[in-house]
Amino acid sequence: MIGAVDVIVAKRDGHRLTDAQIDWVVAAHTRGEVADEQMAALAMAILLNGMDAAETARWTLAMIESGERLALPDVGRPLVDKHSTGGVGDKITLVLAPLAAACGLAVPQLSGRGLGHTGGTLDKLEAIPGWRAELSADEIAAQLVEVGAVVCATTPTLAPADRRLYALRDVTGTVPSVPLIASSIMSKKIAGGARGLVLDVKVGSGAFMPTPAAARELATRMVEIGALHDLPTRAVLTDMSVPLGRTAGNALEVAEAVEVLRGGGPADVRELTLALAREMLDLAGLAADPAALLDSGVAHGVWERMIAAQGGDPTAPLPVASSVTTVEAEASGFFRPDALAVGTAAWRLGAGRARKEDGVQAAAGVRLLHDVGTSVRAGEPLLELHTDTPEALDGARSALAAAPMVSSEPFPGRDLVLESVGSPSSEP
């Protein structure tokens, strides 16, 4: 007879959990038979003592088996998904999903909402008038056939155990556990029906993984889980020390993503999008030129069809904040905004949420007025704060003051893609 206390004590004392213990505790918590405080205690024990690769894979399987798997039909294209561990200004999915579809892939992108300083893809897309995130399994399959890409909310029946556990982790300080992060991401991706997966694991001040070593550990664990569950997976570690592009916020990021889809936009957003597109194509064994399809406008056409298929109007004006305030440089030097500071400022302006049930402002966020590394003078405008609640400005300013925005040293540049984990696979 397995009991919750026995499982907690085993992990508290550094022992390996058995398959039976993992299967039971995950299923029992999902049914409400293990109390939240007991599962929170187990999550803390896992945070402190870890789980090995086999434990993590079994934990992932138990979360998958807590619900249904999305049985996607053969849509005539390789089904390849992409997931980012979250960052500041990370609007890559908005460009990548239609671009990958334009290249011949089918992209079933089940996405989430933002929490804290990291933005959420669904929050961004919901800034588009009429767009809806909730789709049925049949609607997802139909859109993959007709458009080639779908970005939507995870269906309630996919890995419900993860939904319950994540809510606990968020309020008990156990989010940074590598085994729990890995199993949370991979359970939803495996249940989501993709045949291949590319992971964008962020590294730096604006990421959950602040160091390359921590990011590498997470990436390796997720690639291992993918292999054990017959999901060809590779991961790339990418820089998140400064924001991606020039915007952090919902409508602001949508507008910037559309610029990239039209062949313009910030160079770093374009560069990372193309790098990830090439990883997805390589994983699927397809030969295509994503840069040409981006520059030609083909990907933008897929974007318009993707948005329209989910009720959105891709030509409608995006929301604009009622209050826009400029922040000026306090000293001369080189513009080097810290990703965490900018993300926290955007969150406090209303672009993000402190709790999952909080709402967000579509128009809130931060716009950078210079490229990173640009020489600026004292008193010169650095960035704009956008919000519908001007009383939030003081909190945003204090977040920006936590890290210098201007450096006396020239910006050395950065490699967006730091390294890769995992090997190519043929025909997912």
Catalytically active residues are 83, 162, 169, 184, 188
Asked if residue 418 lies in contact with residue 212, where contact means CB atoms within 8 angstroms, the answer is yes
Distance (Å, rounded) from C-alpha 427 to C-alpha 196? 9
Asked if residue 25 lies in contact with residue 7, where contact means CB atoms within 8 angstroms, the answer is yes
Distance (Å, rounded) from C-alpha 249 to C-alpha 396? 13
Instruction: Phi first, then psi: give them for residue 67, nearest 5 degrees.
Output: -145, -150
* Cα–Cα nearest to 421, from 150, 251, 232: 232
Asked if residue 24 lies in contact with residue 38, where contact means CB atoms within 8 angstroms, the answer is no
Number of C-alpha atoms within 13 angstroms, CB side, residue 147?
Answer: 27
* Cα–Cα nearest to 243, from 83, 81, 86: 86
SS3 152: strand
Cβ atoms within 10 Å of 228's Cβ, excluding its own: 17
Asked if residue 88 lies in contact with residue 248, where contact means CB atoms within 8 angstroms, the answer is yes
List Cα–Cα distances, 286 to 74, 280, 349, in angstroms: 17, 9, 42
Alpha helices (H) in 17-136, listed in sequence order: 19-31, 36-49, 53-65, 92-102, 121-125
* Cα–Cα nearest to 112, from 142, 154, 174: 154
Residues 6+ away with beta carbon under 8 Å from 150: 97, 107, 108, 109, 135, 140, 143, 144, 306, 309, 310
